Amino acid sequence: EDKVVQSPLSLVVHEGDTVTLNCSYEVTNFRSLLWYKQEKKAPTFLFMLTSSGIEKKSGRLSSILDKKELSSILNITATQTGDSAIYLCAVYRSGNTPLVFGKGTRLSVIA
Amino acid sequence: NAGVTQTPKFRILKIGQSMTLQCTQDMNHNYMYWYRQDPGMGLKLIYYSVGAGITDKGEVPNGYNVSRSTTEDFPLRLELAAPSQTSVYFCASSTEGGVFFGQGTRLTVV
């Protein structure tokens, strides 16, 4: 059975800390991995990663896929209270199959 | 560009009532999904569709039905609402370039 596992499930840090969120996957016909940030409403897209191994960056956020380890990490440096959210990882597969989402990591950044 | 549009945004139902959550997308995406999200939790897939006329169950389909008569529309029907169906519902569509979410429907069953 295809699955996506995120860790930790929840995390509390102080402003300025650096955090690393993990996403591991066991799926057939992997195509790409996506990261989303969800605050109060719909998830918003952060990154799409493929087996190319290229790191993606956007401001204080960065992410990379390790195709050997079947995992991805999302790094957030110099965290701010506005980074508090649920971070979701999802995997795209080839063929007529739906996305597989992990359960998410709830990040709380306190001042 | 409207993207994925869900209606209504909020709804309160009484136990046993029925309703349809509407979802439409204007991006000509073949893949569409319905998820529910309980407080503080991740997304759970209810149903999905890979194209007009084709639907399949996700991990939590009980109590729900869907149809996909056109590429654009993917309504979700609750026939006999139960308190366990209190949740936020998200419709999404996807292409290889990414997944696009509607803004969600907050449903409360009392």
pLDDT of residue B71: 96
Helix (H/G/I), strand (E/B), else coil: A82: helix
Report the alpha-carbon distance of residue A69 to residue B12 in Å, rounded: 45
Nearest chain A residue to B104 by CA distance is A42
User: For residue B27, which residues of chain A lie inside 8 Å, CB to CB?
Assistant: none
Q: What is the chain B residue with the closest CA to A106?
A: B40
Q: Do A98 and B99 touch (CB under 8 A)?
A: no
The CA distance from B26 to B83, in Å, is 33
Q: Phi/psi at B73 (nearest 5 deg)?
A: -115, 140
Tell me the DSSP string of B34-50: EEEE-TT--EEEEEEEE
Region label for A6, one of left (φ > 0), alpha (ψ between -120 and 50) or beta (otherwise): beta
> Locate tokens 């799926």: which residue?
A27
Q: Above pLDDT 70, what percent of chain B? A: 98
- Judge: A104–B104 Cβ closer than 8 Å, yes or no: no
Identity of residue B12:
I
pLDDT of B1 > 70? The answer is no
Q: Any CB–CB contact under 8 A between A91 and chain B? A: no
